[in-house]
Amino acid sequence: MDSLVKVRDLSKTIEGKLLFENASFDVYSDNCIGLLGANGCGKTTLFKILLGWQQPSFGEVWRKDNLRIRYLDQIPVSSLDKTVYDFFIRTTPFDTIQQKIREYEMQLDDPDIYNSSKYNDILESLTKLKISANRTDHSLLWEASGRILKEIGMPNISLSVKTSSLSGGEKQKIALSSVLAQPKECDLLLLDEPTNHLDIETIEWLERQIIDFPQAVMIVSHDRYLLDRLVDRVFEIENHHLEMYNTTYEEYEEQKLLRTHIKIKAYKKHKAEFQRQKKVIETMSRRNKYDLQIASKMKRLAKLQKVENPVLKSYLLKFNFKSVFKSGKNVAEGHNLKKQFDDKIILDCINFEILAGQKIGLIGPNGCGKTTFLKMLIGEKNPDDGMLYVSSGVKTGYFDQGHLSLKMENNLIEELRRDNSELSENDAKALLGQFNFKGDMVNKQVKQLSGGERARLAILRLILQPYNFLLLDEPTNHMDMDSKKAIEGALNSYSGTVIAVSHDRRFLDMVADTIFFMDEGTIKIYTGNYSSFCLQRQKELTNLSDSNLAYLSRTGIKKYVVYKAFTIWTTKTKHKIGEEVFIGEHNEKLYEWAIKSRFLRPAEYLERNK
């Protein structure tokens, strides 16, 4: 198969800092590649080199002639004067044509060009470009743009509205929609953190879009379920090297563990040889310090010393949340709570109870009121009606997804000591070092940090205080895999109560023992983690009320009917002829064989063939 992109011996250094070196790989037309690595390792920089926006420090990048690349930046749209439709146009050849027209017209503004030999060539090229621009069929793009906005849950957004008037989540959805519209007009799709600002329903919609995307895709993401569902190759930047795994994400985790064991074994063998050589040289030096063999052995020893411990080179974050005295059995209760902003109802007569030690995952569509609910629990907002009770024995710690609690002008040491005056500067530096803030970085201002770095700093501030009730609003946003695993481990060993808003399904499976599902002014409570919630939700959907039909439509869950009786042996679930089964991302793999073997058939197929 022909390569779309060939990369050979690629290295990149920025301001004296090495990001990666000697990277070589090919991208093929049928690939879906997950690009992994710790925050700041150079993933976005690699994308920009592939796009031609940055130059490598060393190495070569070859692109297929007329290669059409689309790129989703992790920072949402910010142009003040651009409309939604303008943003769709920029992903099409029409935008490139318009840019070239502007370049030629600027050249014609120079009076000297009319006496130049280039004048006729410029005029001819400009005429051809204007003819091409006039032939562009905007109706197809306009139709495709409207259709995909409707699919992503923005049916009422006008294509002529200015993007500056939209929220961060809406901008991200528009940016995502624009690169996915008219997929046949793209050869390679680069997605940099595409799930930022998206709720779970939209993430699952994105997964379906990428599965159906006919061209090559490269994704930077820390969403482990998304990667497991989509990618067939994994590239990881670690310790300045790009490691390739030609496998799925799940198998990558196993292969990486195996490779690490092999590297550790090789390192131990290498270290033993280093110690042996060192003793030989010391013995020879004592006998005859002028022996010529000593110099050559010293050179060999210097080379052996350069090999680094693969475990120490990895960034491993480990920590625990403190917990003060236990609160009462009932941490918080709500009775007939109501809350609305203008005409939008956020909470409509809801009732709930939060018990000591519970680990609650709070989920629901963007804009349903999850953050408002948390702010009511910490006392920043009040309900319009009803009773909200929070136990007097509760000491709450709040993680704000916007990190508004951080003082942007402070440096990292000042910020850590702001509520911990007894903490010495040296102790603050040591704690910051454990969270990978090392060297001169501790003197940086908070406003200079990336999103992932601010999140780590906010978590560090939380663990220094003895809270018994943690309210976490998107705690894993912008965090790399190791940081997510560290937070999961800390929360699992934490003895207090937790309520966490998250769109990370793996995080919700690892941490939550209860799910609060918010939608259309209600909160429904489910026992178990996220996967358990999905199974319970599926059973509920057999009752096809109007609200359940709307949920099915939004999430892409499909109704199947059992055509031949069968058993799912992994769960020991028996299915009888005529039974209805609802299948979505959460259980598709489980039923894949039954669909392929036609034991299950789509409900609409059976309706048509009655």
Domain presence at residue 166:
yes
Q: Is 60 exceeded by the pLDDT of residue 247?
A: yes
Say if residue 526 is in the same domain as residue 571. no
Averaged pLDDT for residues 333-341 = 91
Report which DSSP code applies to 354: E
Among 221, 251, 281, give the residue marking a domain's end.
251
Domain presence at residue 569:
yes
The predicted structure's pLDDT at residue 217 = 95
Domain presence at residue 402:
yes
Pair 558, 583: CB distance under 8 Å: yes
Say if residue 163 is in the same domain as residue 189. yes
Comparing 16-30, 35-49, 121-135, the range with the smallest average pLDDT is 121-135
Say if residue 240 is in the same domain as residue 257. no
Overall domain count for the chain: 4
Pair 7, 25: CB distance under 8 Å: yes
Q: Is 60 exceeded by the pLDDT of residue 413?
A: yes
Task: Using CA atoms of 564, 570, 572, 573 in order, give the dihedral in degrees to the nearest 10.
Answer: -50
Domain presence at residue 173:
yes
Q: Which domain holds residue 408?
A: 330-530
Percent of the chain with pLDDT over 70: 79
CB proximity list for 521: less than 8 A, separation 6 or greater: 345, 346, 347, 348, 350
Domain presence at residue 394:
yes
Hunting for tokens 């008219």 — which residue is that? 182
Say if residue 280 is in the same domain as residue 372. no
Based on the number of CB atoms within 10 Å of its own CB, is 359 exposed (0-12), middle (13-18) or buried (19 or more)? buried
Q: Is 60 exceeded by the pLDDT of residue 98?
A: no
Confidence of residue 220 (pLDDT cuts 50, 70, 90): very high
Averaged pLDDT for residues 582-593 = 76
What is the amino acid identity at position 92? Answer: T
The predicted structure's pLDDT at residue 109 = 73
Confidence of residue 29 (pLDDT cuts 50, 70, 90): very high
Say if residue 299 is in the same domain as residue 340. no
Say if residue 203 is in the same domain as residue 161. yes
Q: For residue 460, give the 3-state DSSP assignment.
A: helix
pTM for this entry: 0.73
Among 200, 232, 251, give the residue marking a domain's end.
251
Say if residue 491 is in the same domain as residue 391. yes
Say if residue 306 is in the same domain as residue 337. no
Among 233, 251, 269, give the residue marking a domain's end.
251
Q: For residue 31, give the 3-state DSSP assignment.
A: coil
Confidence of residue 8 (pLDDT cuts 50, 70, 90): very high
Say if residue 88 is in the same domain as residue 174. yes
Confidence of residue 552 (pLDDT cuts 50, 70, 90): low
Q: What's the token pair of residue 72? A: 């989703």
What is the amino acid identity at position 198? Answer: L
Domain presence at residue 544:
no
Say if residue 176 is in the same domain as residue 205. yes
Hunting for tokens 């796009």 — which residue is that? 51
Comparing 110-114, 169-173, 391-395, 509-513, the range with the smallest average pLDDT is 110-114
Q: Where are the beta strands (DSSP E) in 423-570?
A: 469-473, 497-501, 514-519, 522-527, 558-562, 566-568
Confidence of residue 609 (pLDDT cuts 50, 70, 90): very low
CB proximity list for 331: less than 8 A, separation 6 or greater: 354, 355, 356, 358, 390, 391, 394, 469, 497
Domain presence at residue 107:
yes
Mean pLDDT for the chain overall: 81
CATH number, domain containing residue 57: 3.40.50.300
Say if residue 273 is in the same domain as residue 233. no
Hunting for tokens 């009770």 — which residue is that? 389
Say if residue 235 is in the same domain as residue 348. no
Return the closest-CA partner of residue 503 out of 470, 531, 477: 477
Domain presence at residue 323:
no
Distance of CA 539 to the CA centre of its chain: 30
